[in-house]
Structure formats: C-alpha cells, structure tokens
Amino acid sequence: MNELHDELIAMPVHITGFFKPHYSDNPAYTGSIGAGLLLSPGITFRFSLGNGGLKLNGGKCEVKPANHLSTKLKKTFVEVFTSLKPGVGYAISAATTLAVALSYAWLFNIPEKRMALMAHISEVEHRTGLGDVISIFEGSGLVIREKAGGPGIGKTRSYNLPINTSVITVDIGTMSTETMLSTLSSHLETYGQKALRIFENQPSLEGFLETSRWFSEKVGFLTPDINEKLRTIKNMIIGFYVKKKVLVIVPETQFIEEVMEYLETEFGKARIFKMGDNSWRKSLKVIPGIIH
C-alpha cells in the first residue's frame, strides 16, 4: 500500500430542511426534490492506493453504502474523520460515500461526476439517502434540489448566504434514513410537495427556515416540547427546524453566544457551523503526488 497523502481534504455536510422523495426503477434517477443547508466543518478525509479499505475516525466504518462502494472499487484506501454521528441527520453516510467515490476519481483520473453518481446510487440502494450526495457535490450555502436524481441527472440551484451566517445544531437522538423513509413515507410525500410550494413564494433563508419548521412539525420531527423550549429565544434567532434527530437553529449574529448557552442548558452539547460551499472541489483539481 502506498503512503497516505498527508493533506486532509475538507468536505461540508448537508442537513435537509424539507423534501419530497422521487422513486424510479433506475437508482440513478431516484432521489428527492427539496432544500437544505450545506455546513462546514463536516468531514475530512485522505486517501491512497489500497485494497478497498475504509476507516472512520481510525476504526471500522459502519457506513454501509461507503463500505459497499469501497469494496467494489477495491483499489483505494480511505480514512474519514468527523466529530458528527451517523444516523442523526448530518448526511454523514452521503459524505463518506462521496469521499470514497472521489478518492477513486482523483487517483485514476476518472470524471468526478461519474464517480459521484456511483456514490448516489450506493446511497439509494442502501436506503441511506436520496438527495444528499448531489447537494454536497454541487451545492453551496442553501441548496435547492429542483430535479431528482444523482449528479449529472438531477438539478440543483444554490443561494450563497452572508459569510457571517452561523448555524447551531443539537443532537436529540438517532434515526436511520431507512426508518424515516419507511415509517413516514406518506407524510414526506404530502407535506414535501406542499413545502415546495410554500418556499417558492419566499425563496430566501428566512423562507427556507419557516418552511422547514412547518415541514418538520408536520412530519413529526419537531415535537411540541422542543417548540415550547425554543419560545424563550425566539427573538434571538432567525429560524429553526428539525431533520430526523438534529435540531438546527440559525441565530441572529449578535446573539450567538446567548443562544449557544441556552441550547446547551436545555438540550446538551451544541455545535456551531458556518455555511459550506463547493470550493473544496475547486481547490483540489491538482493534488501534488497524486493528480497529474
């Protein structure tokens, strides 16, 4: 095995606010329409030639679609690092699988979009995600998924948000995407379509947060207890929502510290993010010693 490339590559993560699944007999065309936030820091990864190995935070990686793709491709060794838990709502599965796919693309001079589509297909086949791969691969800031499908098939549009926009999250449990898709399918279909219409009337960060809060309440992610606790800080925040088991809050810039302190008192550990973009791809067109 070749020595690992020492430079860690940073990739943002994605937290959907609202979505409507779209299923097809062809997994490349399966996906979702909706919108979400691209956030940083997300994951970091490094890679070398190898035999299909994959590690997460130095240990065994339990992300099924990433393991499947790594084993299928065989010729890479990828290490992924993150402080975020899989199965909460951060799209760690999509980011890890995309890291495997792009490592192979960069090592063997294969078009990135082609490999990103393979990551999407692996996510769909394992029922771990529908629209996260394309959002991370193509998006910046607030990412709108206008057409379902993987990279090269689906279509996204991005809104770059102010550079000082901060996002705070709190983990409030775990929920697998497979469980979400199987138990909430009718709600996601009904309210996902309505959410898209609501957002179209106010296509902005404020509109996104308002729509996402409405959607997360309707599908059952946002409980009355959480709603009640957040009333105390309603004048300090722009908006909030819940995706699966991650509470997402966008605070007013001048109240970041106060909001963090309140959330940690009420819910436990809070994390702070900045908006992510796709500059991580643009800056890696040439990796010394690997890409020629």
- Same domain for 135 and 82: yes
In a domain, 44, yes or no: yes
Tell me if the bond preceding 65 is cis, omega within 30° of 0: no
Query: Does one domain contain both 138 and 84?
Result: yes
Phi, psi values for residue 108, rounded to 5°? -115, 15
Is-contact 269 170, C-beta < 8 A? Answer: yes
- In this structure, is residue 2 part of a structural domain? no
Name the average pLDDT for the chain.
92
Q: Domain count for the chain, please give it.
A: 2
Query: DSSP readout, 210-262?
Result: HHHHHHHHHHTSS-HHHHHHHGGGGGGEEEEEEETTEEEEEE-GGGHHHHHHH
Note whether 179 and 265 are same-domain residues: yes
Q: Mind listing the pLDDT tens digit for each residue in 206-258?
A: 999 999 999 999 999 999 999 999 999 999 999 999 999 999 999 999 999 99
Structure tokens at 292: 């020629």
- By the 8 A CB rule, do 151 and 138 touch? yes
Do residues 183 and 150 share a domain?
no
30 and 135 housed in the same domain: yes
Q: Is residue 282 part of a domain?
A: no
Asked, for residue 239, whether it belongs to a domain, the answer is: yes
Tell me: do 101 and 216 sit in the same domain.
no
pLDDT band at 5, cuts 50/70/90? low
* pTM (predicted TM-score): 0.92
Q: Is residue 188 part of a domain?
A: yes
Average pLDDT over residues 164-193: 89
* CA 214 – CA 242 distance, rounded (Å): 10
pLDDT in tens, 15-58: 999 999 999 999 999 999 999 999 999 999 999 999 889 999 99
Which tops the pLDDT comparison, 38 or 160? Answer: 38
Same domain as 79, residue 192: no
Q: How far apart are CA 174 and CA 246, in angstroms?
A: 8
Closest CA to 150 of 175, 179, 125, 182: 125
User: Residue 245 maps to which CATH number?
Assistant: 3.30.70.890
